[in-house]
């Protein structure tokens, strides 16, 4: 069977990508601008013998997702900023218990209730550091409807492969864009499943170190039991406060992401090889930046674009290389300045990185990026 072409809004593409990845459980609470994901899955999951539950709140939603995943299902939830805030304690629990799950956060204006129907990019740092403690996390940030579909599938694969929560982070504008999407034939879509444990109960340790640092999970109903706790625990799953054991356990869950950066990282570059000004952006702003780069090149200004697709872990080597070659770095983002902090950390020279911010509920335009880049070139 060949691929097909469909005209889809971003949130529907997310739901269809989840189904294609094997998602069979969704728990969530309606919240603008992500509600269409839940609406779509409420119709589609029963058709594939899946389960949809509308929960009482976002705290319970992620708790149910974690429970379903521990029960063997590929599971997800979807929310926006205020709901994502409520999920943070359970997100930390999923990280500590190494429970694969996917959390979609469609960003809107904030803080508090903010502007529920307007786009923003204010959750960049919350997606990395929202829960307490040092914890592993993977965050992907698609910039088109096609990419939402494919990155949702990849999010499930990464969650399963590395036993970790994965956040799919995109802004309201991309969520509600309607674009043509190529839907691959089901037989061509690569999906991954967690490593299932085998052997006897005596031999099994649910958090034992492995060569790739990702433990095997017991398949429910097959006789292997696991003690699951959010407390710092040993390989057998039971709590410990012994410094050497606690340190080793926490370091492993961090290292399992860091060691596999090459399998996780994804980014796009456009014209960064000879760029005098490199623009670093995500989501709908990156699309504006792509047009800006084309317009700037047409008038003789060497501009380039670096777009993280995997936002966390941050593509440090790529950003550092692009920033080293360029004379200035521009970071446009729909917040008061978050992504720019990571770029500044990597760019080296003081004053080399400049932010361009918008917090009024409107996307940054190509013309704004062009104008700011001209200013930077004129200041040289």
Residue at which a domain ends, from 165, 188, 211? 188
Summarize pLDDT for 265-303 with one digit per residue, the tens: 999 999 999 999 999 999 999 999 999 999 999 999 999
Q: What is the pLDDT of residues 202-212, one digit of tens each?
A: 889 999 999 99
The reply to whether 357 falls in a domain is yes
Determine which helix (DSSP H) or strand (DSSP E) holds 295, and give its type and residue range: helix 283-298
Give residue 203's pLDDT: 87
Q: Is 1 or 240 the better-scoring residue by pLDDT?
A: 240
For 151-195, the pLDDT digits (tens) are: 999 999 999 999 999 999 999 999 999 999 999 999 999 999 999
pLDDT in the model for residue 42: 98
d(CA 90, CA 131): 8
Say if residue 380's pLDDT is above 90.
Answer: no
Q: Are residues 180 and 280 in the same domain?
A: no
Say how many domains are in the chain. 2
State yes or no: pLDDT of 1 exceeds 70. Answer: no
Q: What pLDDT score was predicted for residue 244?
A: 96
Model confidence over 256-271: pLDDT tens digits? 999 999 999 999 999 9
Whole-angstrom Cα distance, residue 333 to residue 340?
A: 8
- The pair of structure tokens assigned to 200 is 């006897």
CATH number at residue 323: 3.40.50.920
Q: Is the dihedral of CA 88, 89, 93, 99 positive or negative?
A: negative
Q: Mean pLDDT for the chain?
A: 96
Is the domain of 176 the same as that of 281? Answer: no
Return the sign of the alpha-carbon dihedral for residues 215, 216, 219, 223.
negative
Q: pLDDT confidence of 234, banded at 50, 70, 90?
A: very high
Given a cut of 80, is residue 350 above it in pLDDT? no
pLDDT of residue 84: 98
Identify whether residues 65 and 165 lie together within a single domain: yes
Segments forming the whole domain that contains residue 307: 267-379
**Across residues 346-368, what is the average pLDDT?**
93
Q: Which two tokens stand for residue 334?
A: 């729909």
pLDDT in the model for residue 88: 98
Q: Is residue 135 part of a domain?
A: yes
pTM of full prediction above 0.75: yes
Would you call 45 helix, strand, or coil by DSSP? helix
Nearest Cα to 365, choosing from 272, 271, 290, 278? 290
Which is more confident, 200 or 122?
122
pLDDT of residue 368: 98
196 lies in some domain = no
Question: Are 173 and 280 part of one and the same domain?
Answer: no
Domain for residue 205, yes or no? no
What is residue 199's predicted lDDT score, i.e. its pLDDT? 86
| Domain-located, residue 251 | no
Give the per-residue pLDDT at 315: 97
Residue 164 shares a structural domain with residue 305: no
Three-class secondary structure assignment of 81-105: HHHHHHCHHHHHHHHHHCCCEEEEE
In CATH, what number is assigned to the domain containing residue 20? 3.40.50.970
Report the pLDDT value the prediction gives residue 40, as an integer from 0 to 100: 98
Q: Looking at 140, 159, 188, which one is the last position of a domain?
A: 188
- Whether residue 255 lies inside any domain: the answer is no
Tell me the per-residue pLDDT of 50-101, one tens digit each, with 9 for 90 and over: 999 999 999 999 999 999 999 999 999 999 999 999 999 999 999 999 999 9
Nearest to 226, CA basis, from 353, 338, 349, 99: 99
Q: How many CA atoms lie within 13 A of 13 on its CB side?
A: 31
- Counting Cβ atoms within 10 Å, is residue 369 exposed (0-12), middle (13-18) or buried (19+)? buried
| Same-domain pairing of 276 and 182 | no
Q: Supply the pLDDT for residue 238.
A: 96
């Amino acid at each position: 069977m060949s691929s097909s072409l469909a005209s889809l809004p971003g949130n529907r593409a997310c739901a269809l990508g989840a189904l294609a990845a094997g998602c069979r459980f969704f728990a969530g609470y309606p919240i603008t601008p992500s509600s269409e994901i839940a609406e779509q899955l409420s119709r589609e999951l029963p058709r594939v013998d899946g389960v949809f539950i509308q929960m009482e709140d976002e705290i319970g939603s992620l708790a149910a997702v974690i429970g379903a995943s521990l029960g063997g299902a590929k599971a997800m939830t979807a929310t926006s900023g205020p709901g994502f805030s409520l999920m943070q304690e359970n997100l930390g629990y999923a990280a500590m218990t190494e429970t694969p799950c996917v959390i979609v956060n469609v960003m809107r204006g904030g803080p508090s209730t903010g502007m529920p129907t307007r786009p923003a990019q204010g959750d960049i740092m919350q997606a990395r550091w929202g829960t307490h403690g040092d914890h592993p996390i993977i965050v992907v940030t698609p910039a088109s409807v096609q990419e939402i579909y494919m990155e949702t599938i990849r999010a499930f694969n990464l969650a399963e492969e590395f036993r970790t929560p994965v956040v799919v982070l995109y802004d309201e504008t991309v969520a509600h864009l309607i674009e043509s999407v190529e839907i691959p034939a089901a037989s061509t879509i690569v999906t991954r499943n967690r490593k299932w444990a085998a052997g006897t109960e005596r031999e099994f340790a649910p958090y034992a170190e492995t060569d790739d640092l990702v433990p095997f999970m017991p398949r429910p109903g097959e006789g292997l039991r696991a003690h699951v706790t959010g407390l710092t625990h040993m390989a057998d799953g039971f709590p410990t406060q012994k410094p050497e054991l606690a340190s080793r356990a926490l370091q492993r869950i961090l290292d399992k992401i860091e060691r596999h950066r090459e399998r996780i990282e994804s980014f796009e570059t456009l014209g960064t090889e000879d760029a005098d000004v490199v623009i670093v952006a995500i989501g709908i702003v990156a699309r504006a930046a792509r047009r800006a780069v084309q317009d700037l090149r047409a008038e003789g200004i060497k501009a380039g674009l670096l777009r993280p697709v995997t936002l966390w872990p941050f593509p440090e080597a790529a950003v550092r290389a692009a920033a080293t070659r360029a004379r200035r770095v521009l970071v446009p983002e729909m917040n008061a300045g978050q992504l720019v902090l990571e770029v500044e950390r990597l760019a080296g020279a003081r004053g080399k990185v400049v932010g361009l911010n918008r917090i009024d509920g409107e996307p940054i335009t190509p013309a704004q990026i062009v104008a700011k880049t001209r200013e930077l070139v004129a200041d040289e």
